[in-house]
């Protein structure tokens, strides 16, 4: 009887550690710290739960068959919970914003601050910047068919794509969040005429980030260089999530 708490602790600790280590490797291979679940969470939790339940089982007036049954149920429960925790979390897709244009300017108006920002970043790392990045940035800001918009964000709604085996690919919209703040975005949808943007009124948008080639330093794409997402309409697959 005295060894029962230790035995249960070792059994449940081993199950928590094993399922928490290998579960994320199988179900969430892209998770950087996935196997740490078993080492730092479910393994220690299994030890503690096993010891406590083992102590209780050693004092309760129950026969050994019932003890085995209880241990089996707890083992199955711990393994199931650990496997569920090993499943990939929903992947963030972006957010729908409910906003109105507050200000509009040419890309060159934001370029000076952006260049200062990247000069500071470059000074703090050993990786050399790409050759002629400032000149390229100037040329891009002068020739790009877009504007910088100052947007009054009234509310926003995050969108996620589920990744678990039974709901993979389905979309999930979280609750609208009240923001009431100002943010800058890059826009190309109606050209370079600020008057068209300023009279657009309150609308729903879906900001996106421009994809860059690996190891591009500083960014080549003008929106990325300016530190802004590109403002665009809500994609068709998210239209059902625009309503309350």
Scored b (16 or more CB within 10 A) or e, 58-88 reads: beeeeeeeebeebbeebbeebbeebbebbbb
Query: Does one domain contain both 62 and 145?
Result: no
- Are residues 163 and 63 located together in one domain of the fold? no
* pLDDT number for residue 78: 97
Range of the domain at 122: 91-241
Q: What is the pLDDT of residue 1?
A: 55
Give residue 197's pLDDT.
92
Whether 64 and 126 map to the same domain: the answer is: no
- For residue 191, the model assigns a pLDDT of 74
Q: Are residues 15 and 130 in the same domain?
A: no
Our count of domains for the chain comes to 2
pLDDT digits (tens, 9 = 90+) for 100-138: 999 999 999 999 999 999 999 999 998 899 999 999 999
- Verify that 65 and 158 share a domain, yes or no: no
Q: Are residues 56 and 80 in the same domain?
A: yes
- End of a domain among 86, 116, 148? 86
Same structural domain, 140 and 206: yes
Structure confidence at residue 189 (pLDDT): 82
Domain termination residue (choose one: 86, 113, 141): 86
Are residues 66 and 125 located together in one domain of the fold?
no
Give every residue of the chain whose pLDDT is below 50, as ranges: none
Are 39 and 17 contacting, i.e. CB atoms less than 8 angstroms apart? yes
Enter the pTM of the model: 0.82
């Amino acid at each position: 009887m005295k060894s029962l708490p230790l035995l249960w602790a070792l059994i449940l600790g081993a199950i928590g550690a094993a399922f928490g280590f290998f579960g994320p490797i199988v179900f969430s291979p892209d998770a950087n710290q996935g196997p740490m679940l078993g080492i730092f969470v479910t393994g220690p939790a299994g030890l503690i739960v096993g010891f406590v339940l083992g102590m209780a089982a050693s004092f309760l007036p129950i026969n050994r068959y019932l003890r085995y049954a209880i241990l089996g149920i707890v083992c199955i429960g711990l393994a199931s919970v650990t496997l569920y925790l090993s499943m990939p979390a929903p992947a963030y897709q972006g957010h729908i914003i409910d906003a109105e244009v507050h200000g509009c300017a040419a890309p060159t108006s934001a370029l000076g601050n952006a260049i200062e920002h990247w000069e500071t970043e470059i000074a703090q790392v050993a990786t050399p910047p790409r050759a002629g990045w400032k000149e390229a940035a100037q040329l891009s800001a002068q020739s790009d068919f877009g504007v910088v918009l100052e947007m009054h964000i009234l509310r926003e709604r995050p969108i996620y794509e589920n990744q678990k085996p039974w709901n993979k690919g389905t979309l999930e919209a979280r609750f609208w969040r009240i923001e009431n703040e100002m943010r800058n975005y890059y826009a190309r949808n109606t050209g370079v005429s600020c008057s068209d943007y300023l009279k657009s009124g309150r609308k729903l948008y879906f900001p996106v980030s421009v994809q860059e080639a690996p190891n591009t330093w500083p960014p080549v794409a003008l929106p990325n260089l300016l530190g802004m997402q590109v403002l665009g309409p809500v994609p068709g697959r998210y239209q059902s999530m625009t309503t309350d």
